[in-house]
Amino acid sequence: MKIFLFCAIFFLVAFVNAAQSGTEKECTEATAVLTSKDGTVSGTIRVKKTGTEDCGVHITGTIYMPESEYKKRGFHIHEKGAKGDNCLAAGGHYNPEGKQHGSPDVSNRHKGDLGNVEQNGKTITIDIHDSQACLTGPYSVLDRSFVLHDGIDDLGRNNDEGSKTTGNAGGRIACGPIIKAF
């Protein structure tokens, strides 16, 4: 009886681990709901895997703003999937390889550097193809956060320390954790 029970538990654990591993490898879509602390900024962002490798995604969505402006704002993936403390709980830019902040069109940049999005009136329409963000593998962006910043990301092109780490994109307006879409 003990041997049967041991074998049953062993196979159950192996089955659950295999199912979880398969689920992680099969993740092709994720979503994030962004909100501001006061609830005036909100939006839904979708991430869809675009290639057969771990990395390469298409990020789409709309963010609604209370003020009608026309400006660019920094938009990044941050290291933690947390929203607290006015989005400061999301940590810094997602940068697992310890690279310098940069433009999304260069290879030497944070994995979370997505550049700028444009606010056109009360909406920001997101349509980003990114080759470095991943939904699977060791650099997955799942359980991290999208963060919308108050200012323009200078894409690491200035000579000051802020440019090389955050793009001087300013305060955090809204954020939301990136979770697997079911």
Please answer whether residues 31 and 45 qualify as being in contact, where contact means their C-beta atoms are separated by less than 8 angstroms: yes
Question: Across the strands, what pairs with 120?
Answer: 70, 123
Strand pairing report for 179-180 and 29-35: antiparallel
pLDDT at 4: 43
Q: Does residue 9 register a pLDDT over 70?
A: no
Catalytic residue among 78, 144, 153, 154: 78
CB distance 65 to 73 below 8 Å: no
Catalytic: 149? Answer: yes
User: Per-residue confidence at 152, pLDDT binned at 50, 70, 90?
Assistant: very high
The residue from 109, 113, 130, 144 that is catalytic is 113
113 is catalytic: yes
pLDDT tens digits, residue range 101-123? 999 999 999 999 999 999 999 99
Tokens of 8: 């049953």
- Based on the residue annotation, tell me whether 78 is a catalytic residue of this protein: yes
Helix (H) or strand (E) run with residue 132 in it: strand 113-134
Domains of the chain: 28-180 (2.60.40.200)
Indicate if 76 belongs to the active site: yes
- Beta bridge partners of residue 73, listed in sequence order: 117
The answer on pLDDT for 134 being more than 70 is yes
CB 61, CB 172: distance < 8 Å:
no
For residues 112 and 92, the answer to whether their CB atoms sit within 8 Å is: no
pLDDT tens-digit readout, 39-90: 999 999 999 999 778 899 999 999 999 988 899 999 999 999 999 999 999 9
Question: Residues 178, 93: contact at Cβ < 8 Å?
Answer: no
pTM of the complete model: 0.84
Q: Are 141 and 30 in contact (CB under 8 A)?
A: yes
Give the active site residue among 54, 73, 93, 153: 93
- The residue annotated as part of the active site, out of 73, 109, 144, 172, is 172
